[in-house]
Each structure stands twice: as C-alpha cells, then as structure tokens.
Amino acid sequence: MLHEIALFLRHAVASPANIGAVVPSSRELGDLVARGLGPDTGRVIEIGPGTGSLTKGMLRAGVREQDLTLVELNPSFCTHLRRKFPRARVINAGAEDIGAQDMDGLESGHISHVISGLPLLNFPASLQSSILEAAFSQLAPDGKFVQFTYGFQPPIDAAVRATMDLGWHMRGRVWANLPPASVYEFYRNAPH
C-alpha cells in the first residue's frame, strides 16, 4: 500500500493536470463507483485507473478480474497494474484511443460500463468529446459511463453532453474521500 501511495504521489507531483488528485481514491469512492456491478456485469473498461483504487471496488462488487480492461496512459501505472491485476487486460493508451486499440476480443457496442477516473474537468471540451465518443463507441446501447468528480457540477461540459445527447444523474457523494467526491452516471438519451 505504501508503494502505491508513493507511486501515485510521485506522478501527481510531476503531472498534476493529468492525475487530478492528491491521494488515491478511497475504498468508499471505489464502492460507489462500482455500485450495480457484479459477477454478471460482463466486460468493463476502466479509463485512467491510476494505481487501481477504483479497480479494487469493482472486484469487491464481484466483477471478474478477467472481465476488466484497464486503459492507462502512464507507463509506470501500467506496469503496476499488470503486476497487481494479472488477469485484467492492461492497455497503455489514451482514453480517446480505446476504439482504435486491440481490445482483446471485445466487440464494440457490447460493453456494459466504462468507468472513468480521469480528471475530465481539467480537459478542454474537445478532448472530453473525443474521450466520450471513444467510450460510447464501446458501450452497448444501454451502457453507462460512470465518472467521479471533486466538483459539485457534472464533470462533462454541458455543450458536450448536449451534442452527444447524454442524460445523467448523480449517484451520490462520498465525504470519506480526500477531497470529497461525487459520482455521476451518463447514458444515451436516444439509441445511436
């Protein structure tokens, strides 16, 4: 655990805009992000898993490790994730590239959830849009994009939500996280 915190802090200090947090996410946040997931969820993609705090929440919820595809841009985090979750598929890529990557037999349009630990509020609307387009290209028509944020507003730009016709609701807020965080779920309003 101390190794994970040290790894996380080293990269958070070196690239704060890409990490967007001061410490790894809490167990409580991981559990709220994973709410509704379980052994029958099927394949799940996590973008920006960092050191795996949210990943552990999904495993506690019953998602099988071999059903996880972890998409991480930071090579050091990828090395850590491969050691920690050897049955998960770890892809060293940007989240906006997930549709173009070898997703280990995944068929676009059949993923139930994309879980995001990315600091979307730090990204321009154009990058948010690219990430969401890639994520929703992998999701089933009724699939969900789950994102947490430290802010009090939805973490996806309103214009991006409108252009993509995304609905949303807030799952809840976790006060036992540093800093406190809210979890949002986004979905398509109409079939695409």
List the chain pLDDT tens, one digit each, 192 residues. Answer: 545 545 544 544 455 544 455 567 899 999 999 999 999 999 999 999 999 999 999 999 999 999 999 999 999 999 999 999 999 999 999 999 987 755 555 667 789 999 999 999 889 999 999 999 999 999 999 999 999 999 889 999 999 999 999 999 999 999 999 899 999 999 999 765
Q: Which domain holds residue 155?
A: 2-188
pLDDT of residue 134: 95
pLDDT of residue 110: 84
Cα–Cα distance measured from residue 47 to residue 130, given in angstroms and rounded to the nearest whole number? 13
Q: Are 178 and 22 in contact (CB under 8 A)?
A: yes
Q: What is the dihedral of CA 96, 99, 100, 101, to 10 degrees?
A: 100
Single out the residue of 41, 36, 5, 1 nearest to residue 178, CA to CA: 5
CATH number of the domain where residue 31 is located:
3.40.50.150
Number of domains in the chain: 1
pLDDT of residue 2: 47
Cα–Cα distance measured from residue 157 to residue 176, given in angstroms and rounded to the nearest whole number? 26
pLDDT of residue 22: 53
Cα–Cα distance measured from residue 155 to residue 62, given in angstroms and rounded to the nearest whole number? 27
